[in-house]
Amino acid sequence: MTTSSPLTALLTHRMAEQGLTVTQLALGVQVPASSIYGWLAGQYKPRPERYAKLASALGCTVSDIALAAAGIASASAPAAT
């Protein structure tokens, strides 16, 4: 069984829910696609100044992003598996 961080779980779930590719999300957040890949892989986390654009693109709240980046799954975000 593979485990993922709350951030990875949130990004993966919301991207699928919104029908977004990595490229589309990167354009919406105005970051390189390599940043999105790094966030998905758990290599690093988005900067707080990116949270609002990320939340907007993913259809969730800034709090969801902040909690997931801190390693905490919010009630409205999927649990890490």
pLDDT tens for each residue of 42-81: 999 999 999 999 999 999 999 999 999 999 987 665 655 5
Report d(CA 65, CA 12) in Å as an integer. Answer: 12
For the chain, the domains span 6-69
Report d(CA 1, CA 49) in Å as an integer. Answer: 33
Name the band, by pLDDT with cuts 50, 70 and 90, for residue 1. very low
Q: In sequence order, what are the residues at sequence separation of 6 or more whose Cβ sits closer than 8 angstroms to the Cβ of residue 34?
A: none
Query: Up-side HSE of residue 31: CA atoms within 13 Å toward CB?
Result: 20
What is residue 30's predicted lDDT score, i.e. its pLDDT? 97
The CATH number fitting domain 6-69, selected from 3.30.70.2740, 2.60.40.1120, 2.30.140.10, 1.10.260.40: 1.10.260.40
